[in-house]
């Protein structure tokens, strides 16, 4: 049986998914998400990874870092997985364009605290 991952490993998973999202949208915009089904699915999957890794962070870590909207991050994952039929391109783009940059800065800060 694998040993459970610690908070630092989960934060690294979140950062890696964010970096992948940034790579995928490097020179792209909202119209590309609408027109490129593969891109949309790749972005959706990485947002799911972010939510799942966030959901696995310890309660102590989440409580110690209330500036991050953990409930929203985890909630987005639940929407993408369980209410997939409600996903629209505008909502996905908003997460990527507005939420991900803020989350990236916070995750980078948390990782620097863990070093």
Supply the range of the domain harboring residue 34: 7-114
Give pLDDT, residue 77: 83
Q: Is 82 a catalytic residue?
A: yes
Using pLDDT thresholds of 50, 70 and 90, give the confidence band for residue 24: very high
Q: Are 73 and 54 in contact (CB under 8 A)?
A: yes
**Looking at the domain assignment, is residue 2 inside a domain?**
no
Please write the tens of the pLDDT for every residue from 87-110. 788 889 999 999 999 999 999 999
User: Per-residue pLDDT for 30 more than 90?
Assistant: yes
89: number of Cβ within 10 Å: 15
Give the phi and the psi of residue 4 in degrees, each rounded to 5: -65, 150
How far is Cα of residue 3 from the mean position of the Cα atoms in its chain?
23
**Looking at the domain assignment, is residue 87 inside a domain?**
yes
Name every residue whose Cβ is closer than 8 Å to that of residue 69 and which is 6 or more positions away in sequence. Answer: 99
Q: Which of 10, 13, 15, 77 is catalytic?
A: 77
Total structural domains within the chain: 1
User: Per-residue pLDDT for 80 more than 90?
Assistant: no
């Amino acid at each position: 049986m694998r040993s459970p991952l610690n908070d630092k490993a989960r934060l690294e998973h979140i950062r890696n998914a964010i970096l992948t999202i940034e790579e995928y949208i490097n020179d792209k915009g909202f119209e590309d998400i609408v027109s490129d089904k593969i891109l949309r699915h790749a972005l959706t999957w990485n947002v799911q990874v972010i939510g799942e890794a966030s959901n696995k962070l310890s309660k102590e870590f989440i409580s110690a870092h209330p500036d991050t909207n953990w409930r929203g991050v985890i909630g987005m994952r639940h929407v993408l997985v369980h209410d997939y039929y409600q996903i629209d391109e505008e909502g996905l783009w908003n997460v990527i364009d507005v939420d991900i940059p803020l989350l990236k800065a916070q995750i980078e800060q948390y990782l620097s605290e863990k070093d």
